[in-house]
């Protein structure tokens, strides 16, 4: 038996015992229950929450306490003297930058302006922060601070590095990583709050940040078991390091195989006349599976994909005409899918309808990866949803094909 075989074989009974203990602990403490998991907040939702927390007149009822904690976080505690008069706005169009764009949150403190750009998942757009900097300098000269909330912890790419460093030295720029400084601010807010309801909410918010922006979901008990097993001897430690080095490759292959499993199931169910494609959206982990009848336009397809930013899974339906923003058939199809499967998100240039999955949403999380390895349930769930998608779309699209191909009278 190789050191890798020995390590893996020894881990299985230890992990089973750890999971049993976790079940008992979860029954008593519900540590796996996370309120934020139920609505999976997008960037705008998070910006709205943060805006209300920063507002001295926010619904939290704690006055300027949270804003004062934030001012310390960005190294401007002196502004607490005027923070009770702060005007906090969420995407206020009056701060529209001349080069395009609106800052997510603005805090005006007696002539000193704090501009907050929130990027928990997406990257900043080209020249976005440079545009905001230029706009703020024209509005307030040197009386401003540009704050960048970073989901990855990395600084923005839309402003020159030297410019950013100069602004940081002058106290007019601050990068706040979600996993560290923003989380610490929320913990400070929780400790400063007098309302139990707000403390509970902030606890949930902090827990969400820990899960989403740091550990990636692996339970600390499992980590402890693996580390203890790895350090039992030097051979096991070397085997653990070797195993860890191929983790990303294993994850990549596992997810790709499950995409292929879904395609195989659908090909069998749909039969002849259907075309299938698995693509990568230009990035190794941004896969999608699309399928369409050969009689449909090339831009009209159904399928599911894996978002490149958050890695959430979503269902989608394309458009009848790729060159057109919307056609009547797109509206008809969207209405049928909204009522039959669930209300879709905002349309895109290539999709008339798309919707995030409600279950097994992220095939990048440790919990779901484990299910993908041990159970067929995640694949079954996706196949069921795609079957429903096809059943609701096929008749509508086939009818459109017949109508357009029928000879016109006269």
Strand partners, 395: none
Model confidence over 283-335: pLDDT tens digits? 555 678 999 999 999 889 999 987 665 667 899 999 988 766 678 999 999 99
- Characterize the bridge pairing of strands 313-317 and 302-306: antiparallel
Give the list of residues 6+ apart from residue 282 with CB closer than 8 angstroms, or none: none
Q: Which of 178, 204, 189, 183 is nearest to 61 (CA)?
A: 189
What is the distance between the alpha carbons of residues 176 and 116, in angstroms, rounded to a whole number? 10
Report the pLDDT value the prediction gives residue 150, as an integer from 0 to 100. Answer: 93
Give residue 215's pLDDT band: very low, low, confident or very high (50, 70, 90). Answer: very low
What is the distance between the alpha carbons of residues 355 and 13, in angstroms, rounded to a whole number? 39
Give the list of residues 6+ apart from residue 33 with CB closer than 8 angstroms, or none: none
Report the pLDDT value the prediction gives residue 218, as an integer from 0 to 100. Answer: 42
Mean pLDDT, the chain, integer: 86
pLDDT at 140 over 80: yes
Please state which of the four CATH numbers 3.40.1350, 1.10.30, 3.30.70, 3.30.420 is assigned to the domain occupying 37-194: 3.40.1350
| Candidate from 105-119, 209-223, 354-368, 386-400 with smallest mean pLDDT | 209-223
- Alpha carbon distances (Å) from 161 to 103, 148, 155, 164: 20, 14, 9, 5
| Candidate from 31-45, 66-80, 255-269, 346-360 with smallest mean pLDDT | 31-45
Model confidence over 349-364: pLDDT tens digits? 889 999 988 877 778 7
Give residue 216's pLDDT band: very low, low, confident or very high (50, 70, 90). Answer: very low
> The pTM is what?
0.65
% of the chain surpassing 90 pLDDT: 48
């Amino acid at each position: 038996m190789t050191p890798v075989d020995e390590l893996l074989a020894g881990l299985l009974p230890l992990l089973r015992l750890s999971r049993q203990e976790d079940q008992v602990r979860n029954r008593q403490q519900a540590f796996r229950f996370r309120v934020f998991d139920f609505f999976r907040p997008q960037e705008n939702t998070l910006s709205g929450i943060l805006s209300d927390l920063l507002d001295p007149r926010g619904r939290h009822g704690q006055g300027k306490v949270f804003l004062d904690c934030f001012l310390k976080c960005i190294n401007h505690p002196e502004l607490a003297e005027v923070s009770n008069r702060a005007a906090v706005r969420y995407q206020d169009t009056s701060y529209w930058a001349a080069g395009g764009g609106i800052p997510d949150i603005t805090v005006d403190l007696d002539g000193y302006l704090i501009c907050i750009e929130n990027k928990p998942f997406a990257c900043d757009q080209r020249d976005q922060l440079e545009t905001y900097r230029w706009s703020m300098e024209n509005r307030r000269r040197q009386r401003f601070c540009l704050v960048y909330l970073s989901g990855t912890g990395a600084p923005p790419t839309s402003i020159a590095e030297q410019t950013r460093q100069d602004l940081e030295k002058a106290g007019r720029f601050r990068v706040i990583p979600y996993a560290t400084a923003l989380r610490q601010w929320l913990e400070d807010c929780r400790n400063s709050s007098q309302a139990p309801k707000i403390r509970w909410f902030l606890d949930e918010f902090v827990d969400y940040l820990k899960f989403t922006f740091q550990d990636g979901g692996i339970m600390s008990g499992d980590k402890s078991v693996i580390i203890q097993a790895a350090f039992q001897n030097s051979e096991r430690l070397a085997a653990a390091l070797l195993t860890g080095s191929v983790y990303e490759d294993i994850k990549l292959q596992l997810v790709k195989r499950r995409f292929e499993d879904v395609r195989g199931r659908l090909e069998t169910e749909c039969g002849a006349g259907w075309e299938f494609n698995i693509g990568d959206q230009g990035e190794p982990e941004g896969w999608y599976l699309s399928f369409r009848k050969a009689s449909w336009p090339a831009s009209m397809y159904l399928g599911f994909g894996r978002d490149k930013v958050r890695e959430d899974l979503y269902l989608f339906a394309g458009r009848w005409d790729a060159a057109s923003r919307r056609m009547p058939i797109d509206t008809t199809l969207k209405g049928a899918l909204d009522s039959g499967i669930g209300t879709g998100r905002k349309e895109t240039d290539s999709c008339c309808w798309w919707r995030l999955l409600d279950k097994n949403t992220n095939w990048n999380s440790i919990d779901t990866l484990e299910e993908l390895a041990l159970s067929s349930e995640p694949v079954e769930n996706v196949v069921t949803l795609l079957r429903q998608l096809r059943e609701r779309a096929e008749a509508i699209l086939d009818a459109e094909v017949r109508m357009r191909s029928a000879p016109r009278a006269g």
